[in-house]
Amino acid sequence: MLPLETNPGAYQHVLGLRVVRRFLPEPFPSEEITAVLEAGRWTGSSKNRQAWAFIVIDDRHAIEALATAGHFTAPFSEAALAVAIVRLPEGNDFDLGRAAQNMMLAAAARGIGSCPITLHDVERAAEVLGLPAGHSCRWAIAFGYPNAAAEAEQRRSARAHGFSGRRPLEELVFHNRYKA
């Protein structure tokens, strides 16, 4: 079997993905969100079930209503739009996470920032989104063009409060068994 073709640029893109919490107040063309949604659609899934649906929310009042279903939803306040990731009855969280990450990576490749949002009150989220029985939504993604100055300030503030970035690989990786 031949090895897969390498793509160092793609690898660096994955390592460089950063959550964006502060956005510029400008919308982006519909073809951009279509491209991001295509990345979600093409995500692999268990048994190829594709047991998800994506709800694009671009109405300010609807975004604000969805924000009431979570505790840490401030990134919604400046987002151009949000995508709610709906779990269909036979879906699983692992597949939804994969679809979310693919959309976030695709958005970053197109110059669009993103931030995953947990919707802690799934009943409220279902009500806002009009979901039928058996469908649920625990996560959404805020999208928009990054506000570079506000993001830089937020990161400086986070570092000043002790948030220092990624833990070293040596703290995360174990071989054969977990060791505390």
Q: Is the residue at 6 inside a domain?
A: no
Q: Is the residue at 5 inside a domain?
A: no
Q: Is the residue at 84 inside a domain?
A: yes
Q: Is the residue at 64 inside a domain?
A: yes
Residue-wise pLDDT tens digits, 51-104:
999 999 999 999 999 999 999 999 999 999 999 999 999 999 999 999 999 999
- Residues near 12 by beta carbon (within 8 Å), at least 6 away in sequence: none
Residue-wise pLDDT tens digits, 99-127:
999 999 999 999 999 999 999 999 999 99
pLDDT at res. 47: 96
Q: What is the mean pLDDT of residues 131-159?
A: 95
Q: Is the residue at 168 inside a domain?
A: no
Q: Is the residue at 31 inside a domain?
A: yes
42 vs 32: CA distance, rounded Å: 16
Considering only CA atoms, which of 118, 115, 121 is closest in space to residue 139? 118
Question: Which band of pLDDT confidence, cut at 50, 70 and 90, is reported for residue 172?
Answer: very high
Higher pLDDT, residue 69 or 158: 69
Sequence length of the chain is: 180
Residue 1: is its pLDDT beyond 80? no
The CATH number of whichever domain residue 103 belongs to comes to: 3.40.109.10
β-sheet bridge partners, residue 142: 82, 115
Q: What is the rounded radius of gyration, in angstroms, for the C-alpha atoms of the chain?
A: 18
> Alpha carbon 141 to chain centroid distance?
4
Locus of tokens 């919308």: 27
Q: Is the residue at 179 inside a domain?
A: no
Q: Across the chain, what does the average pLDDT equal? A: 95
| Domain extent at residue 99 | 18-161
Report the b/e string of 100-118 with b at 16+ CB within 10 A.
Answer: bbbbbbbbbeeebbbbbbe
Sheet holding 52-57, edge to edge: 52-57, 81-87, 136-144, 113-118
Q: How many structural domains comprise the chain?
A: 1
pLDDT at res. 3: 79
Q: Is the residue at 44 inside a domain?
A: yes
Question: Which band of pLDDT confidence, cut at 50, 70 and 90, is reported for residue 165?
Answer: confident
